[in-house]
């Protein structure tokens, strides 16, 4: 199964990198790489993380990685990474459901 990262999720990675880079540029690069690898690893166990309450009908799941959320949906032939969110981000707003 392949993993597809949406443009919104790519934008999230850039935003996270810029935020971390304010304090530690080298860690920003390594953290975003780790976060991306955690998302790509979903291909091996796509149903291994729970559906998010209130988003079950949409099939949206969450994997946590070092306090960040990887929001994704499983389709027949792929995993679609929808967003990468920092702690405290509003899910409805991030998913455009508000």
Neighbours of 39 (CB within 10 A): 22
What is the total residue count of the chain? 98
Cα torsion through 74, 80, 81, 83, rounded to 10 = -100
Tell me the pLDDT tens digit for each residue of 24-77.
999 999 999 999 999 999 999 999 999 998 899 999 999 999 999 999 999 999
HSE at residue 23, side-chain half, CA atoms within 13 A, is 5
87 versus 84: the higher-pLDDT residue is: 84
What local confidence, expressed as pLDDT, does residue 92 receive? 79
At 98, the pLDDT band (50, 70, 90 cuts) reads low
* Global pTM value: 0.92
- Check: CB of residue 93 under 8 Å from CB of residue 75: no
Place of tokens 């971390």: 20
Chain centroid to CA 68: 8
């Amino acid at each position: 199964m392949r993993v597809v990262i949406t443009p919104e999720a790519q934008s999230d990675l850039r935003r996270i990198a810029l935020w971390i880079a304010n304090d530690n540029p080298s860690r920003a690069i390594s953290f975003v790489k780790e976060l991306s690898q955690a998302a790509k690893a979903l291909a091996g166990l796509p149903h291994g993380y729970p559906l998010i309450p209130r988003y079950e009908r949409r099939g949206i799941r969450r994997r946590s990685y070092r306090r960040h959320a990887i929001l994704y949906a499983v389709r027949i032939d792929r995993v679609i990474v929808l967003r990468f969110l920092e702690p405290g981000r509003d899910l409805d707003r991030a998913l455009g459901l508000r």
